Structure 1
Amino acid sequence: MVYYVHLLKGLLSPNTFSYQIMRAEAIRGLWKKVILLTLLSTILFTFSGYLGIGMDFLTKEITDLSRQEFEMEKLFATVGRLIWGMIFSMLVLFGFSVILWAILDMSYKKIVVVQLFVLCILLLEKAVLLPFHIWLGIGPEASPFSFGVIAAYLTSSSILVYFFSQISLFTVWAIFFQYKALKGLSERSPKTVLLVIILAHLVIWLVSALLSYLEIEKLI
């Protein structure tokens, strides 16, 4: 059976996708979708950087910098976002796949296909949040779709707020999609597959929270 990668169909029909990818003997259209989503990721991250999303440290420095210095800092930070947009897509598609492949012992290529849909979900979240920032000035840590807002009321710890802001309706959707697709590809029990997926996400959320806390844009 030849499986042709169709992102919209797969997202709308996860059960059908799970059945098809489990029985696929050949995959077509994978690398075209990899290039497309990497390009979309780069555009989204660059545009977010241009709008100043997630770059509060620049706002804090605006009174200490001249107009020219501020624009230069903003340019460097935006370039950093551009680079991070490419790295982000590569990590989701290939880095996460390596973790699952190493632990669950399944087809690496098929995992990458599943991760295409996960990346699509995560980019959709970023796109949905853009209007909230433009019109309401809401940053990713205060997303109405995440637990970041609740965490901000319960704790003053920035790193905890950043961590819980990573947990959103979209990431839950991504985990659900991964589980539905991958449980049929692994010889491990469904509970083990789910546990590995959740633990991998927890590690990623912790790293992302740490990078946000350290304001990684300053280092790029």
Structure 2
Amino acid sequence: MHYSYLLGLIKAPNDQLYRIERKDVIERQWKIQLLLVIMTVLIYVLMSVLGMGSHFHSHHITDLSMSQYTIEQLWFINGRMVYALIIALGILFIITYYFHLLTEIPYRKLMVMQQVVLVAMLCERLLWIPAFVFLGLDWNVSPLSFGIIASYFTDRPWIINFFGSITIFQLWIIFFQVKYMKKLSILKTYKIWLIVLNLYIFLDVMAAFITYLGSILQQGWM
């Protein structure tokens, strides 16, 4: 039963959403939550082993000895593991609480929604891996994002990073969340749209700012 909500929303979303709406209490979801957190960490470890996200400190690799390089790689992988934990817990708990406060939808019902969101995000990361390995494309110019389109119109990094944060998967997630919460909430549809869009605008701006700041710091170190 722990897995039925998530799998049901993936296989038959309309039917499962109706069941969730009718259900008074959602059972504890700690097993699937733990599984999703572990999957997130493993995927980010794989990405770090492949060198994804390591460009900020790659400029001084040639100056390192083999032992220093190994130690730096281990620190990088550990850092990505912590980052993966923050991402997974943020999606499953913090964002769930944000929606709960603003919509008053039961917390566990929103947690099921966020499980689907995390699965979609992990699928996006897995699809980014071959784009990076075979084409050398970073996340902000991935074929799945709008960053590659923005790069044809401007060379400003912060603009490219902002549109690079907006992906096809993110648009699907937004529509899915609006549909899900519209079914369970008494709020008007436009209010749900505002709640969701405000969140993602904030997250995309923060992602663009952090990436841009990182590139500025990298130039300073060089």
TM-score (norm 1): 0.90
Select between 88-97 and 201-210 the one with higher mean Cα deviation. Answer: 201-210
Q: Which residue of 1 aligns with 2:199?
A: 200
* Deviation by residue 1:6-48 (Cα, 9 ceiling, x = unmatched): 4343123222232122111232462111111100000111111
**1:132-143 equivalence runs, <5 A:** 132-143=131-142
State yes or no: 1:127 paired with 2:123.
no
The Cα RMSD (Å) is: 2.1
| Relative contact order higher in (CA < 8 Å, ≥ 6 apart) | 1
Segments of 4+ in structure 1 off by > 4 A? none
Query: How many residues matched?
Result: 216
Inter-partner Cα distance in structure 2 for 1:149 and 1:31: 38
Secondary structure of 1:144's counterpart equals coil
Does the aligned pair in 2 maintain the 1:62–1:70 contact within 8 Å?
yes
Shift in Å at residue 131 of structure 1? Answer: 1.6
Q: Which residue of 1 aligns with 2:189?
A: 190
Inter-partner Cα distance in structure 2 for 1:97 and 1:206: 20
* Deviation by residue 1:151-197 (Cα, 9 ceiling, x = unmatched): 22222222222221111111111111111111121111011112211
Q: Which residue of 2 aligns with 1:86?
A: 85
User: Which runs of no fewer than 5 residues in structure 1 stay unpaired?
Assistant: none
User: Which runs of no fewer than 5 residues in structure 2 stay unpaired?
Assistant: 218-222
Shift in Å at residue 139 of structure 1? Answer: 1.7
Shift in Å at residue 134 of structure 1? Answer: 1.9
Q: Which residue of 2 aligns with 1:11?
A: 10
- Structure 1 counterpart of 2:30, which letter? W
Give the percent of matched residue pairs that are identical in Structure 1 and Structure 2: 31
Shift in Å at residue 84 of structure 1? Answer: 0.6
Does the aligned pair in 2 maintain the 1:5–1:27 contact within 8 Å?
no
Inter-partner Cα distance in structure 1 for 2:194 and 2:21: 20
**1:44-193 equivalence runs, <5 A:** 44-193=43-192
Shift in Å at residue 94 of structure 1? Answer: 0.9
* Deviation by residue 1:76-125 (Cα, 9 ceiling, x = unmatched): 11111011111100001111111111112221111111100001100110
Judged with a 3 Å threshold, the aligned counterparts in structure 2 of structure 1 residues 46 and 54 are, in CA distance, closer, same or farther, namely same
Judged with a 3 Å threshold, the aligned counterparts in structure 2 of structure 1 residues 3 and 30 are, in CA distance, closer, same or farther, namely closer
Does the aligned pair in 2 maintain the 1:175–1:197 contact within 8 Å?
yes
Does the aligned pair in 2 maintain the 1:159–1:209 contact within 8 Å?
yes
TM-score (norm 2): 0.89
Shift in Å at residue 142 of structure 1? Answer: 1.6
Inter-partner Cα distance in structure 1 for 2:72 and 2:34: 29
Does the aligned pair in 2 maintain the 1:4–1:27 contact within 8 Å?
no
